[in-house]
Every structure is written in C-alpha cells, then in structure tokens.
Amino acid sequence: MCIMSILYRKEIRNIIRAKIYEGSFGSVGLKGSSSSAGGVSGSDSSSSSDGSSDTGQSLSAGEGLEKLMPSTLSAAVPEISKECALYALSSFRKHYANGRIKNNKKILIVDYTIPGNKTRLWCIEIDSSGKILLRVASDVAHGSGNGAKGNAVPTTFSNTEGTHASSVGAFVSAGSYKSNAGMPKKYPGGRPYGGLSRRIKGLDPTNSRDYPRAIVIHGAWYRENGQTGRSWGCLATAAETNKKIVDFLGVGTFGYKFGGKSNAAKVDTSWA
C-alpha cells in the first residue's frame, strides 16, 4: 500500500509540474493562415449542426475500424496521406486484436509530417450505419523540444521525460481533469477558461511514457487565433477545439501520432 501511494504521489507531481511549465512557458510562434481551428474540411462533405461532416465514404452497417482500408480513409479525408492512414490503421488493428482497444468506432489521428500551421489532427467516427464521419479537423502543436518552429514540420521525436518533445505512436485516451495547462487564468479579452485536459496512455515503445510524462490533450492560448506556439509535448489546440476533442474521445478511444515511416513503431502493414 505504501509503495502504491508513493508511485501515485510521484505521478501527480509529474502531471502538476508539466502543467505548470506549459502554462508558464508555452512558446508562441507566427500566425498561420491555413489553420482550421476545429472546422471540418473536404469539398464533397456535408456538415451537420454540431460541426461534423459526412465524408461521403462508408462501410457496411455495423462494421468498425478493423474493416476500414487505408485507401478508403484517405478518400474520406483527403488530407490524411495514404502512408499515414496505413500506419494508423495497421496500429489500430494490432492493438484491437490484442484487446488493448475496445472501441472500434472512433479514432484520432495526428500527422506531424504536415506543418504546424496546417490541419493535421482529425477525429473520425464510424456510425451505426457505417458512415465515416469527420468530427474534428484542426491544427495542433508539437513540442518545443522537437526542434522545429511551431509552424514547421518536426523530424525528431522523444519518449524521454524532460525533453519537452512530442512522441509518436499509438495511444488510448484516459480520464479528463481540469488544469491550467497552456492557459492564463483568462483568455486575452477576459473570457474565462475551464482548463479541461485529457490524459493519454502510450501503447508503443516510441511513446510508452506519455502518461508518466504528463503528455495530455489540452487547450492553449498560444494556439488561439492562428497562433502556432509549441507545447511541451502535449497535443495542444485552441480551447473550443480542445473541448470538442476531449468530448469526442471519452475514455478508451484509440489515437495515433504519425511522424513518418522512419519514426514509427514496428507494425505489420502487409495486410492492406
């Protein structure tokens, strides 16, 4: 019992420390004219009142992500490259098959091979009829320790505490909590912010320390209004977009952070 208590206190200290750092020292970059701020894209898609988009692609009723082909995913969301789709879905199949993922209807994908001022995060859901729906599409921060400016493409990643760098690999969403990560107490202009964040647990050797490193999903003032500031490794977006992402994920949803084939954890891609 004593050992568990010590480990728990250490985890909490790590999370608090990381949140303070990000709240105090978020690096602000240049404004990017092409960031989507949570909107959905695609010329052939139709939007609903909640901002979701029907991509025009579908599976058979009742089918899930394990039946989704990379080519279909790329057709549904053209901004997702075929290589990114291949690795994301291959990783999902691996972790779904071994029982680490139970939800086969939702996926979050990040593609760090796209510049930081462009759309490179997508929340995708397959509904009961098989329709592939785009729930969120947004720019997202990478870490200041990745070496690239906030509006650029990071090429190096880390799974080591203290590097302030983003990691790559598969993860599963965990619990949410309120914090001041990436935020002053109020937005510029005085609008209050609740500080909603969601923890993630890394599933691959490349990001196995996401949870103890306090790599989380949170809103950030330095991603508001086209700003392209960097986090300390967290998936930081504008606050209203972050709320949509946190709500979309819930607990137990699969996510994948792609940083190019050479940086990806080993996974079988021969099935596609």
How do residues 71-116 score in pLDDT, each as one tens digit? 999 999 999 999 999 999 999 999 999 999 999 999 999 999 999 9
How large is the average pLDDT for residues 17-31? Answer: 37
- Residue 51 — φ and ψ, nearest 5°? 90, -5
pLDDT score of 60: 97
Whole-angstrom Cα distance, residue 215 to residue 233? 6
How large is the average pLDDT for residues 232-251? Answer: 96
Whole-angstrom Cα distance, residue 183 to residue 222? 8
Strand order in the sheet with 53-58: 46-47, 53-58, 131-138, 121-126, 106-111, 254-258, 169-178, 196-202, 216-219, 235-237
**Residues 237, 138 contacting (CB under 8 angstroms):** yes
pLDDT score of 140: 98
How large is the average pLDDT for residues 145-167? Answer: 97
| pLDDT tens for each residue of 179-226 | 877 776 655 565 656 678 999 999 999 999 999 999 999 999 899 999
| pLDDT tens for each residue of 36-49 | 446 554 434 455 55
Q: Evaluate if residue 30 carries a pLDDT over 50.
A: no
% of the chain residues with pLDDT over 70: 77
